[in-house]
Amino acid sequence: MAGPVDAYIQDGVPVSKSAFRGDDRAAKRRNIQDVSTVQSYDLTGQFAGIYVRSLQANFDLDTSDTTTLHNGTTVLVDGAGNIFKIVLALQPANNLSDVTSAAAALANLGGAAITAVRERLTTNRTYYVRPDGSDGNTGLANSAGGAFLTKQKAINTVAALDISIYDVTIQVADGTYTDTVLVNGPWIGSGNVILQGNASAPANVVFSVTGANTHPVSVRNGGRLRVRNFKVQNAGGGGNYGQGLYASSFGGIQIIGPMHFGAMGTSGGFINATEHGLVWATYGAASMVISGGCNVGIGAAGNSRIALQGMSVTITGTPAWGTAFVYGEGASSVQLDSLTKSGSSTGSRFLLVGCSFLQTYGGQALVSTDFLPGSTNGSAATGGQFA
């Protein structure tokens, strides 16, 4: 037989009905349909406040205020004279579906406390770099007052974007630039980033660096970059291990047009991939013009790959290779089939060690001829292979 409830158990402890009701009342807001209902009832004891559905707003009881009049919006007075003041109004402007711009949405949500939203591209974009530019510029105009001064500023600006499916070109004007380029991770988006110089005269755009282990262009940690139409060199001379184009730690560089290579020092190199790095060329479009010597022209190590099929190599002067023009170690591969060469150089053509692999589709018989730059045959040891 049903009957009244005589006791309540809360958290395992018996409590009186009056205490339970008081606790429940303090823990919840009273849900009220509209303002007229508030004015019609005695809401004494609604310590947790009220919620008025017609206003979509919460109100708290203000016991310290005995004079403010009812206005039906921000102040409500019930039938017993209790004054309730608004604490949160969900106005239509705070509904993001009601605004037409990201700026308005940020303003409605208290934009000063919200971090900036990453810009997402809706079309291709070009940034400009010039010797008379400034890194305080936007980079969006090809003028002294619009272009960046350094290539790295352009790279960092692109890294802050969501490039989506669009391509970003970094157009570098004629001149000599001593800053390095580092892409230290993947872009946001699937578009391409192209670093390019002067298509008509690539040698007019020079990336010239100095210092030990300093690379004119390096891509690391899963980053990717397309390059064309400029010259790289290391003016530091001997003992410098800098690489002209350097891909490491799953970084990738694609050569999509002519590239010029000046002297990289007796310990440096032109193109190098290490630690799962990748450098590859667009077949028939990429080329190398070499005007200085280095230790290793093309080197791969640490499970890396260099694929320069269809590459044309033009050599001016008589540069020398300290170790070899092609060097492979650590289960890496270099692919040079359909390579064409003009000009002369001195030094060993190749050195393969540590289960590395050189593919020309002519095997050792081909690379032991004048197919590769150099003046003497190379060697393969500890598992070096040809195909």
Determine, yes or no, domain membership for 2. no
| 81 and 196, same domain (yes or no) | no
For every residue of 118-144, DSSP letters joined together read PPB-SS-EEEEE-TT--TTS-S-SSST
Q: Quick check: 93 pLDDT over 50?
A: no
Which pLDDT score is estimated for 115?
A: 57
Does 318 fall in a domain?
Answer: yes
Domain membership of residue 142 (yes or no) is no
Domain boundary among 69, 92, 115: 92
User: Which has the minimum average pLDDT: 145-154, 168-177, 250-259, 332-341?
Assistant: 332-341
Give 1's pLDDT tier (boundaries 50, 70, 90): very low
Query: Residue ranges of the alpha helices (H) in 216-351?
Result: none
Two tokens, residue 224: 């990717």
pLDDT digits (tens, 9 = 90+) for 139-198: 999 999 999 999 999 999 999 999 999 999 999 999 999 999 999 999 999 999 999 999
Arithmetic mean of pLDDT over the chain: 87
Domain boundary among 46, 75, 92: 92
Dihedrals φ, ψ of 271, to 5°?
-130, 130
SS3 299: strand
Question: Does a structural domain hold residue 118?
Answer: no
Asked, for residue 340, whether it belongs to a domain, the answer is yes
Residue 45 pLDDT > 80: no
- Per-residue pLDDT at 22: 43
pLDDT digits (tens, 9 = 90+) for 358-370: 998 887 778 777 8
CA distance 194 to 326: 26
Please tell me which residue, 198 or 18, carries the higher pLDDT value: 198
Domains contained in the chain, number: 2
**Is residue 3 one of the residues assigned to a domain?**
no
Contacts of 186 (CB under 8 A, 6+ apart): 221, 222, 223, 224
Residue 325 · residue 353 · CB < 8 Å: no
Predicted local distance difference test score (pLDDT) of residue 26: 46
Q: What is the pLDDT of residue 90?
A: 45
Both 205 and 331 in a single domain? yes
183 lies in the same domain as 292: yes
A 10 A CB-CB count for 169 gives 18
pTM: 0.72
**Does the pLDDT of residue 5 top 70, yes or no?**
no
Q: 207 and 337 share a domain?
A: yes
CB count within 10 Å of CB 65 equals 12
In a domain, 257, yes or no: yes
Region of poorest pLDDT, from 112-116, 197-201, 224-228: 112-116
Quote the pLDDT of residue 4. Answer: 54
- E-state strands within 16-113: 30-32, 50-52, 57-61, 75-77, 83-89
Considering 38, 69, 92, which residue would you say is the last residue of a domain?
92
- The Cα–Cα gap between 43 and 77 comes to 9
Structural domain boundaries, residue 42: 13-92
Checking if the pLDDT of 109 tops 80, the result is no
| Proportion of the chain above pLDDT 70, given as a percent | 84
Domain membership of residue 133 (yes or no) is: no
